Amino acid sequence: MLSDEQLDFTIGKNMGTLGEQFRHMARVRLQYSEALETKIVSPTEKTIDPSIAKSKEKLIELWQNVNLKIPQILGKMSAEEIENIKID
């Protein structure tokens, strides 16, 4: 519902813009998906271009791609593997 201009809004000092917050949340989701594969929580291997935070269209595309990752990874695992996942 936000415009590209509204993505530049920040709610306080030392806080990222709304667009940066959405980008950060997508990066965290990527970290979870990578942790499912590697069994280790670490910074994401894939970097996300900071300019994405300024574009509603690019953020939506990023989120659509990120939201597919976890189901794809879990879909490749057996029920037993899913039940026994241990992430360091």
Q: Which two tokens stand for residue 8?
A: 């530049």
11 pLDDT band, cuts 50/70/90, is confident
Query: What is the residue range of 60's domain?
Result: 14-83
The band of 20, judged by pLDDT with boundaries at 50, 70 and 90, is very high
78 located within any domain: yes
> Using 50, 70 and 90 to split pLDDT, how confident is the model at 47?
confident
Number of domains in the chain: 1
- For residue 6, what are the contacts with CB-CB under 8 A and spacing of at least 6? 18
Sign of CA dihedral 56, 43, 65, 78: negative
* pLDDT value at 74 more than 90: yes
Residue 9 lies in a domain: no
pTM of the model: 0.85
- Tell me, yes or no, whether 39 lies in a domain: yes
Among residues 77, 76, 37, 71, the alpha carbon closest in space to that of 46 is found at: 37
Identify whether 2 is part of a domain.
Answer: no
Number of H helices, E strands in the chain: 3, 0
61 found inside a domain:
yes
8 found inside a domain: no
8-state DSSP, 51: G
